[in-house]
């Protein structure tokens, strides 16, 4: 009887990705750069969050953005309109960014010129959670219109993130979204997670988030 040989593709891919992510992490440390990986569903407000954060930090930090998208360059155009350099990754169908993609994008930037690098991941609550890209901070954005039950449907995303930003609080008055329940479930799943309720439209909470991020960046830079 012939022996069945099993090739675990996912395990091999994740292992190779982890190796590249560690290289990215080492290079960022050498360059004194802080990387933020922003993940969310399509339409949750990732680009708006990045732009609003840039507005509050651009006088203090040199910032660049790597945009991930399946096809378009729309988000990169919005970033460039803010006077911030952007590199677009077009995955051509892939539902996440991985470390080799991010590494290739970073090769297009003169990293000596930047302190903060935002990565806007593909709009997806599944695959991006599985791939380490070498970031210092994993940020998840959840919008009020999506509902407070997303944590039950996509627990991995909530469990791997350092920060949860609950966006579009200006929609709360027309929603049955239970903010307290979401906070409790998030803390039960991931006790160390930091949560900010924000609205990129009204500005609610964005200063608190931006100030907290600035302190995290300063903490890293002073420890190197």
Span 136-177, pLDDT tens digits: 999 999 999 999 999 999 999 999 999 999 999 999 999 999
Distance CA 68, CA 74 (A): 11
* Geometric angle at alpha carbon 25, from 20 and 27, rounded to 5°: 95
Distance CA 94, CA 5 (A): 28
Q: What are phi and psi of 78, to 5 degrees?
A: -65, -40
Residue 54 belongs to domain with CATH number:
3.40.50.300
Mean residue pLDDT of the chain comes to 92
Span 52-98, pLDDT tens digits: 999 999 999 999 999 998 887 899 999 999 999 999 998 877 788 99
Residues with Cβ < 8 Å from 175, sequence gap 6 or more? 144, 145
* Total domain count, the chain: 1
**167 assigned to some structural domain:** yes
98-126 b/e with 16+ CB inside 10 Å = b? bbbbbbebbeebeeeebbbbbbbbbbbbe
**9 assigned to some structural domain:** no
**17 assigned to some structural domain:** no
3-state secondary structure of 166: strand
Domain extent, residue 105, equals 24-223
Contact 168, 144 (CB under 8 A): yes
């Amino acid at each position: 009887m012939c022996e069945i040989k099993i090739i675990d593709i996912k395990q091999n891919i994740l292992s190779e990705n982890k190796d590249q992510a560690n290289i990215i992490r080492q290079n960022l440390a050498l360059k004194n750069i802080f990387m933020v990986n922003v993940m969310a569903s399509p339409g949750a407000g990732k680009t708006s969050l990045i732009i609003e954060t840039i507005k509050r930090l651009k006088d203090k930090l040199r910032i660049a953005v790597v945009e991930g998208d399946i096809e378009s360059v729309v988000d990169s155009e919005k970033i460039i309109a803010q006077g911030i350099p952007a590199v677009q990754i077009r995955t051509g169908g892939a539902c996440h960014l991985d470390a080799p993609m991010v590494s290739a994008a970073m090769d297009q930037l003169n990293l000596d010129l930047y302190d903060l690098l935002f990565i806007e991941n593909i709009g997806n609550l599944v695959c991006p959670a599985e791939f380490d890209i070498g970031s210092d901070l994993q940020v998840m954005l959840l919008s009020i219109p999506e509902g407070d039950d997303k944590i039950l449907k996509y627990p991995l995303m909530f469990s791997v993130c350092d920060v949860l930003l609950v966006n579009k609080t200006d929609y709360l008055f027309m929603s049955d979204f239970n903010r307290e329940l979401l906070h409790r479930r998030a803390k039960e799943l991931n006790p160390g997670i930091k949560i900010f309720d924000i609205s990129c439209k009204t500005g609610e909470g964005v200063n608190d988030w931006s100030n907290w991020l600035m302190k995290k960046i300063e903490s890293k830079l002073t420890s190197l």
